Amino acid sequence: MKKAIIFGITGQDGSHLADLLLEKEYQVIGVTRRVSVDTTSRIKHLVNHENVTIVSGDITDAHSVINILKDHQDAAEVYNLAAQSHVAVSFKQPALTWDITGKGCLNILQGLTDLQMTNTKFYQASSSEMFGSNYDTRSQDNDFDSRLPVEKYQNEETKFLPQSPYAISKCAAHYMTRLYREGYGLHASAGILFNHEGPRRGENFVTRKITKWIGDFIKWCITNDVSPKGLHDLLTNDNEIYITEGLKFPKLRLGNLDAYRDWGFAGDYCEAMWMMLQQDEPDDYVICTGETHTVREFLSIAFNSVGIKEWEDFVVVDPEFYRPAEVDYLRGDCSKAKEKLGWTPKHTFEDLVKMMVMRDLS
Ligand code: NAP
Ligand code: G4F
């Protein structure tokens, strides 16, 4: 039975990856950090699984990382999914983000090297945020006519131009992964994953913030006998939606609605992580859908799926959610992963939005 260690098992991706590895009959060692509240809600269904062992450790503590690796030197695969992964938070807590998201990766790579675990394959969760404000271009449909609109995209060749402490920490970890691959012969691969979401997404990322709000709002309407037709007759003021003075619901407050993201389903992306570690040679791969949509488009599909066409009345654009620097446009090209790994995303953008809304309604 193959053994895999997952740093970050309690996160969105960690939970999907653990499901996948258990299906493939791995023994899973999941690392969780000590916190005063229970963080295992996403892995509740598997903590008692006979092939799962939860161990305590913090990726910022090199000592605890090396002890975990030492106890599991027979691990075939190590996945580093642990991070302070919220971009906006990284502007407020840059040093913490650096320690976890940047230096944490180094602690694992150095541990694998010190313990000479050269048979263990390592996965680093790199991010499309590393591209920041950069993209490459090619003309659409017709290579010869430069008057045609250009297509903007990012792939493994696109230069990084990071726009946040989070992205800069991810770049450091990414380069460190390459260094340990080339300098110390580790089988270390990095997946440059574009945004991926799903019902297990943290509630302060924009997609889940939207679908969670819609779920709560529709439940409030049902409780207060508002019929589907009545949704359009609700009254609003600057900050609230109301039935009567006493029955109010706060509007959804968001920041930049014009950012473009290439959004896919997290479950599909975890499969790509695993596929990377099944290769004989380590390498870096972009994982994405190749489509890009604005936050506004996400809102439209999400609200439409519960019968609300004029959603603008229910949303407030609040500068509090603007970032000191923004990433305006992300759209990946995963031709390499398609060709070398045989990976393709299985869910469309519309499937994803509807799946998230439906789950938050139930
Ligand atoms: P997530 O839900 O925020 O999960 C992060 C995980 O890291 C959680 O399990 C968290 O534990 C753990 N963690 C945080 N600090 C830690 C520490 N000091 N020591 C040990 N564990 C720690 O993130 P995700 O969406 O699953 O993403 C997984 C990875 O992929 C992250 O590295 C993220 O940066 C990267 N990534 C994500 C996306 C995306 O769109 N989701 C795209 C590209 C790259 P707690 O539960 O205790 O907080
Ligand atoms: O959902 P977001 O916070 O995701 P972001 O910043 O793209 O980062 C996510 O994807 C990265 C991969 O590209 C990961 F590496 C990273 O760990 C994380 O998973 O924001 C998406 C967009 C941004 O442009 C943001 O400014 O939505 C915009 N936005 C508008 N209003 C908002 C909000 N974002 C959040 N979180 N909250 C808002 O109210």
pLDDT digits (tens, 9 = 90+) for 277-286: 999 999 999 9
Can 175 be counted among the known catalytic residues? no
- Ligand 1 atom closest to the Cα of residue 80 is 32
DSSP state of 170: H
Range from 144-148, 281-285, 328-332 carrying the lowest mean pLDDT: 144-148
What band does 275 get if pLDDT is binned at 50, 70 and 90?
A: very high
Candidates 127, 128, 189, 305; catalytic one:
127
The 10 Å CB-count burial string (b at 16+, else e) for 61-99 is: ebebbbebbeebeebebbbbbbbbbbbbbbeeebeebbb
- Spatial CB neighbours of 145, under 8 Å, sequence gap ≥ 6: 139
Q: What's the pLDDT score for residue 182?
A: 97
pLDDT reading at 163 higher than 90: yes
Is pLDDT larger for residue 172 or for residue 139? 172
Percent residues over pLDDT 90 in the chain:
90
pLDDT reading at 276 higher than 70: yes
Beta-carbon count within 10 A of 327 CB: 23
- Spatial CB neighbours of 336, under 8 Å, sequence gap ≥ 6: 155, 156, 285, 286
Pairing between strand 121-127 and 77-80? parallel
- Spatial CB neighbours of 133, under 8 Å, sequence gap ≥ 6: 161, 163, 327, 328
pLDDT reading at 245 higher than 70: yes
What band does 143 get if pLDDT is binned at 50, 70 and 90?
A: low
CA of 24 to the centre of ligand 1 (A): 23
Can 269 be counted among the known catalytic residues? no
Q: What's the pLDDT score for residue 355?
A: 98
Distance set, CA 16 to CA 52, 81, 83, 208, 349 (Å): 14, 11, 16, 16, 19
CA distance 120 to 306: 47
CA distance 105 to 276: 18
Report the candidate in 112, 114, 115, 128 with the shortest Cα–Cα distance to residue 174. 128
Task: Name the token pair of 311.
Answer: 């959603």
178: alpha, beta or left? (left if phi > 0; alpha if psi -120 to 50)? alpha
CA distance 259 to 104: 29
Ligand closest to 205 (CA) is 2
Ligand closest to 90 (CA) is 2
Cβ-contact 277, 183 below 8 angstroms: no
CA of 330 to the centre of ligand 2 (A): 11
Tell me which residue has its CA closest to atom 30 in ligand 1: 125
Of 91, 195, 318, best ligand 2 pocket probe by most atoms within 8 Å of the beta carbon:
195
Rg of the chain on CA atoms, in Å: 22
Can 151 be counted among the known catalytic residues? no
Cβ-contact 128, 262 below 8 angstroms: yes
pTM of the model: 0.96
Percent residues over pLDDT 70 in the chain:
98
Length, in residues, of the chain: 362
- Ligand 2 atom closest to the Cα of residue 330 is 13
Residue type, 305: S
